[in-house]
Amino acid sequence: MEQNKKTHLSFEVFPPKKDEEFDNVYQILRQLKELNPDFISCTYGAGGSRAGKTIEITSFIQNELKIDAIAHITCVGFTREDLHKNCEALQEAGVSHVLALRGDRPKTMSDEQYDSREFYYASDLVRHLKEYTGLRISGACYPEKHFEAPSLKEDLLHLKEKVDAGVTSLISQMFFDNNYFYRFLDKARAMGIHVPVHAGIMPITTAKQLGTTVSLSGSSVPKELADLIATYGEDKEDMRKAGIDYAVRQIRDLKEHGVDGIHIYSMNKVKTTTEICGMI
Ligand code: FAD
């Protein structure tokens, strides 16, 4: 891999559940700006709930903070008309970059509703956005394969279709063992996927967080991380320090390998994110 090139830095934030927490998010974003990220992305609730909040937050990032904003959008739970309205609203708000996702099925959604979505895979959404909007489009990728894919090879074939449909950069699912990322990247490049890939890093600062994260992402937990939880899990501050140290070591190694970008799943935790950035 190429060394000594600039590694991009980016963060992911999520819209707070309660309206009264909005001011706090803006405060967090102002502090994240101090860390000079190349972009900040904002998630979309499962099934597209609170879509308007993603627009508000990305508009703030783009227009107030003058940082490239990426708005996540999903197919699940949306009609073609909803999507058009959402994309128009984004563009009117000055946001021109989206992360086009299929989305996951919310627990409350019926089979019928889930299966009747207009865009079945993210690549179908990408094709549509490419044809009908001027938006810049990024996509998601999975170093350890997506949980539904029968193999990494098959997942990569579909990833290639997604990139060929118009995705210009990829953000990876979180991973805790860099070897998975390097293996994935080698295979992706060999398959002709040459867009920048931003490596997703989730700092694990509590034992509970690891359980939730793993069940949601399907990422495997290396022995070193499991041992760290076993050793420090009971002590809040020691666990936080150990989790930050683990993420920092992961990032340093990725940078030494010349990866395109580091995407920190900040979970709106500005103190942790700032400490990590101070050490890399
Ligand atoms: P796709 O690219 O459509 O892939 C889904 C599965 O379908 C894969 O197994 C793939 O191999 C397979 N596939 C694709 N094309 C075909 C085909 N033609 N034939 C057969 N199989 C095919 N979810 C949210 O709800 N909101 C968010 O804000 C959000 N942000 C995310 C950010 C990142 C960086 C990542 C990595 C994930 C995020 N997710 C989010 C979760 C995401 O929605 C889920 O992981 C979802 O299950 C897959 O989305 P996708 O866009 O990767 O799907």
Atom of ligand 1 lying closest to residue 147 CA: 9
- List residues near ligand 1 (CB under 6 A): 43-44, 46, 72, 74, 99, 101-104, 121-123, 140, 146, 148-149, 155, 158, 162, 171, 173, 200
Closest residue by CA, ligand 1 atom 33 = 140
Return the pLDDT at 231. 95
Over pLDDT 70: what percentage of the chain? 97
Closest residue by CA, ligand 1 atom 10 = 155
Structural domains of the chain, ranges and CATH numbers in brackets? 8-279 (3.20.20.220)
Mutate to test the pocket of ligand 1, among 70, 83, 101 (most ligand atoms within 8 A of CB): 101
Q: Is the pLDDT of residue 250 over 70?
A: yes
The residues that bridge with 68 in the sheet, in sequence order, are 39
Q: Is the pLDDT of residue 48 over 80?
A: no
Angle between helices 51-59 and 80-92 (to 10 degrees): 20
- Residue 7 is classified by DSSP as P
Over pLDDT 90: what percentage of the chain? 82
Range in 43-47, 131-135, 166-170, 185-189 with the lowest mean pLDDT: 43-47
Task: Strands of the chain (E only): list them.
Answer: 8-13, 39-42, 68-74, 97-101, 136-141, 169-174, 197-201, 261-265
What is the mean pLDDT of the segment spanning 174-181?
98
Residue 180 buriedness (CB in 10 A; 0-12 / 13-18 / 19+): buried
Which value, to the nearest 10 degrees, does the dihedral of the CA atoms of residues 227, 215, 10, 41 take? -160
Return the pLDDT at 20. 84
Distance (Å) of CA 75 to CA 88, 136, 156, 176: 16, 17, 20, 28
User: What is the pTM (predicted TM-score) of this model?
Assistant: 0.97
Return the pLDDT at 151. 98
- Residue 96 is classified by DSSP as -
pLDDT band at 195 (very low <50, low <70, confident <90, very high): very high
Q: Is the pLDDT of residue 2 over 70?
A: no
Atom of ligand 1 lying closest to residue 263 CA: 34
Return the pLDDT at 227. 94
Q: Is the pLDDT of residue 207 over 70?
A: yes
Catalytic residue among 12, 56, 144, 275: 12
Q: 224 alpha carbon to ligand 1 midpoint, in Å?
A: 28
Active-site residue 12, yes or no? yes
Return the pLDDT at 157. 98
Give me the half-sphere count of Cα atoms (radius 13 Å) on the Cβ side of residue 1: 24
> Token digits for 30?
């102002």
What is the mean pLDDT of the segment spanning 184-213?
95
Integer Cα distance of 192 and 146 in angstroms: 19
Q: Is the pLDDT of residue 125 over 80?
A: yes
Q: Is the pLDDT of residue 3 over 60?
A: no
Give me the half-sphere count of Cα atoms (radius 13 Å) on the Cβ side of residue 203: 29
Return the pLDDT at 113. 87
Integer Cα distance of 16 and 23 in angstroms: 10
Q: 241 alpha carbon to ligand 1 midpoint, in Å?
A: 32
Integer Cα distance of 102 and 66 in angstroms: 28
Helix, strand, coil abundance in the chain, percent, nearest 5: 50, 15, 35
Range in 10-19, 41-50, 112-121, 143-152 with the lowest mean pLDDT: 41-50
Return the pLDDT at 74. 94
Range in 43-52, 201-210, 233-242 with the lowest mean pLDDT: 43-52
pLDDT band at 49 (very low <50, low <70, confident <90, very high): low
Integer Cα distance of 242 and 171 in angstroms: 25
pLDDT band at 18 (very low <50, low <70, confident <90, very high): confident
Return the pLDDT at 90. 97
Q: 147 alpha carbon to ligand 1 midpoint, in Å?
A: 9
Q: Is the pLDDT of residue 64 over 60?
A: yes
Q: 192 alpha carbon to ligand 1 midpoint, in Å?
A: 20
The 10 Å Cβ neighbour count of residue 108 is: 8
Q: 11 alpha carbon to ligand 1 midpoint, in Å?
A: 19
What is the mean pLDDT of the segment spanning 219-227?
94
- Residue 219 is classified by DSSP as -
Average pLDDT over all residues of the chain: 94
Mutate to test the pocket of ligand 1, among 107, 120, 146, 219 (most ligand atoms within 8 A of CB): 146
